[in-house]
Structure formats: structure tokens, C-alpha cells
Amino acid sequence: MPEWLYDAIMEGDKFVMKGRGLFMRTGEEAEGDVFIDDGTYIIKEGDGDISTRNRCIFESEWYLLK
């Protein structure tokens, strides 16, 4: 896990743990929380904004350098 993601989770502003799940806050209210399931990529944009991509979209936009 990258340090920026760990820090974002620990700050509790953008992410919240509920039970065994990780949720990303999308608005002011808890009802706007989106579940981060297995296979969801959490990315940090060039402007510093943190967002998610589902596996299919992420893997169509990016590839692994070997």
C-alpha cells in the first residue's frame, strides 16, 4: 500500500472503515459512501485527487511494465 493511501485512510476524511469493509466518501453524508471491493483500484490523480477505477477500466487504460 502506498504511503499516500495509508495516510488518506488513517485521516478518515476520504475513507472510512465499516466492519471489515473500506468505503470511500463521495459527499458530505455517510449515505454517499461507496464500498471499495476486491479488484477496485484506488488511484491518485496528478492534481492529488484520490479516486477509484474498476478493474476493467483501469486495465484498459494502464499496463504493467516488466
Percent of the chain exceeding pLDDT 70 equals 88
Q: For residue range 15-40, what is the model confidence (pLDDT) as tens digits? A: 888 888 888 887 666 567 888 888 88
Report if residue 19 sits inside a domain: yes
Number of neighbouring beta carbons within 10 Å of residue 10: 9
Report if residue 16 sits inside a domain: yes
Which sign does the torsion angle of CA 22, 27, 29, 32 carry?
negative
Number of domains in the chain: 1
Report if residue 38 sits inside a domain: yes
Report if residue 66 sits inside a domain: no
Question: What pLDDT shows up at residue 32?
Answer: 73
Q: Which of 12-16, 28-32, 49-53 has the highest mean pLDDT?
A: 49-53
pTM: 0.71
Question: What pLDDT shows up at residue 3?
Answer: 93
Report if residue 50 sits inside a domain: yes
Report if residue 34 sits inside a domain: yes
Reading the block at residue 43, the C-alpha cell is 488511484
Instruction: Round to whole Å and give the CA distance between 29 and 39.
Output: 25
Domain with 10 in it:
3-61
Report if residue 12 sits inside a domain: yes
Q: Is the predicted pLDDT of residue 60 greater than 70, yes or no? A: yes
